[in-house]
Chain A
Amino acid sequence: DVKVTQSSRYLVKRTGEKVFLECVQDMDHENMFWYRQDPGLGLRLIYFSYDVKMKEKGDIPEGYSVSREKKERFSLILESASTNQTSMYLCASSLTAGRGYTFGSGTRLTVV
């Protein structure tokens, strides 16, 4: 089974801090995604990547950036954390969308 690992399950950060969320997958998948999930709003796509060093904006990229230096690792960066970025962050990977995504266990980020 594909394993998608997110480095932290819970994080508490202060407003203005630079925050790094790490995601690693072990099945050589081309495609990786970052979502945030908030009550009533569902899953919202932040950024995605189809290949190393390639990135595309999703629906809500403002305040975020990403890095994909190696195929297995996709990092989400909050340049200056704000309280409205308090959320559950989910990383996913796929070989192709036709096979669906595999999600990591999620990082619940609280910005105080």
Chain B
Amino acid sequence: GEDVEQSLFLSVREGDSSVINCTYTDSSSTYLYWYKQEPGAGLQLLTYIFSNMDMKQDQRLTVLLNKKDKHLSLRIADTQTGDSAIYFCAEQGTNAGKSTFGDGTTLTVKP
């Protein structure tokens, strides 16, 4: 079945760039998503990319997709302490039904 893998932890200094990586197995993935989850809060959609795109930029966020390697990354420029959270990568297949999530990357931003 589908699988999504992420590294568990990332620590950066305030003002640096953060890069969170994700790999997935479903070659028929149509949409790939990045969600943010803060302690005690629900999932917040940050950005998404359609599978026929290589890159998408949205303010401080840049998403890169390497479809050949099934690799997705999220770059956060000028990382702030408020960016500290768990970031989930998710893929949605061509049947546009369920999304399959990774186990999340905990981003810690040190002042």
Do A and B originate from a single complex? no
